[in-house]
Amino acid sequence: MSNSVDPTRQQFDTFKNLPRDTPIMMLNLIRLRDEAQYPDGRSASGAAAYKSYGEEGESIFKGVGGEIIWRGKPECVVIGPLEEAWDLAFIARYPNAGAFMAMITDADYKQAVVHRQAAVLDSRLIRMGDAIEGDGFAE
């Protein structure tokens, strides 16, 4: 288990070096802690802390043009490491990478993200662009 919660400097630099003026989708896979780990020691479940993150960050997310375009309930891992079981899965769409950057650098968002950091045990955040449409898997 990797316990990836925040991007590394290298990952963030790679993100910043990609085009900023095209729509992006961010695949989110989230595994929550049973008990949130806040720096100040407050008590909450991981689910409750993540809910607080969503409530406090929603207006900022929507304010930059973000929208959830798909949400699913993970049921089991069919291919991949069995320890990579997820509690939440969704795809967020942003009008462009600049909008995502505006969100994560917003002062109010930085306060809300404390809940995410306390709630999340492990996660994957994968940037995706639009693909050329086709009928096959490899199109």
Identify the residue with better confidence: 36 or 77: 36
Position 3 pLDDT exceeds 90: no
Position 100 pLDDT exceeds 60: yes
Triad 115, 121, 127: Cα angle to 5°? 80
Query: In which domain, by residue range, is 104 found?
Result: 21-128
Position 73 pLDDT exceeds 90: yes
Query: Does the residue 12 lie in any domain?
Result: no
Asked whether 3 and 83 are in contact (CB, 8 A), the reply is: no
pLDDT grade for 92, boundaries at 50, 70 and 90: very high
Query: Does the residue 101 lie in any domain?
Result: yes
Query: Does the residue 139 lie in any domain?
Result: no
**Taking all residues of the chain, what is their mean pLDDT, rounded to a whole number?**
91
Per the structure, the count of domains in the chain is 1
Query: Does the residue 1 lie in any domain?
Result: no
What confidence score (pLDDT) does residue 139 get? 61
Query: Does the residue 13 lie in any domain?
Result: no
Asked whether 82 and 31 are in contact (CB, 8 A), the reply is: no
Query: Does the residue 15 lie in any domain?
Result: no
pLDDT grade for 2, boundaries at 50, 70 and 90: low
Percent of the residues in the chain that have a pLDDT greater than 90, as a whole number: 73
